[in-house]
Amino acid sequence: MTGNAVVLPLGRGLVAFDVPADRAVQVRDRMEHNGFSTPALLVGARGPRAVFLAETDEVVLGQFQMPGDVRFLTVPSTVELPLPNARATRGTAWFCPPDPRRRWLLSASTVLAAIDAATPPPMRTRQRQDHRQAA
């Protein structure tokens, strides 16, 4: 814990997706439209970005699967989580706060699907484009 935040190390089943803020609302809306939600933060250290937390799965394996301008965060990365009722910490604030009624995270593949759907076609993941061409 540092000041008004908790430092969350990624790994051991926990990953994150660093997405441009201009796409964050679309990603969140896509998940909510399908009845899903996962905690996400707004961070401003390197320009406005949103960081969506997710549970590791066997489908999302690394950065090579990410759309352009999306970063896949895992070990040794950390995410700074603001404490409830605390002011934004070093430019970090909850975008989608955790819901105590949902004590699990969405799978990485579910979050990546929402990110991909909110991404302009030329920037989508190669794997998804290849699938569409084969169909």
pLDDT tens digits for range 50-104:
999 999 998 888 999 999 889 999 999 999 888 766 565 567 888 888 888 888 8
Give the angle 121-44-31 at the CA atoms, nearest 5°: 45
pLDDT tens digit string along 4-50? Answer: 678 999 998 999 999 998 899 999 999 999 888 899 999 876 678 99
pTM (predicted TM-score): 0.84
By the 8 A CB rule, do 125 and 116 touch? yes
Which pLDDT belongs to residue 90? 62
What confidence score (pLDDT) does residue 24 get? 92
Q: Give the type of residue at 70.
A: V
Distance between CA atoms of residues 94 and 81, nearest Å: 8
Question: How many Cβ atoms from other residues are within 10 Å of residue 96's Cβ?
Answer: 19
The CATH number assigned to the domain with range 5-134 reads: 3.30.2250
Asked if the bond preceding 76 is cis, omega within 30° of 0, the reply is yes
DSSP code at position 58: S
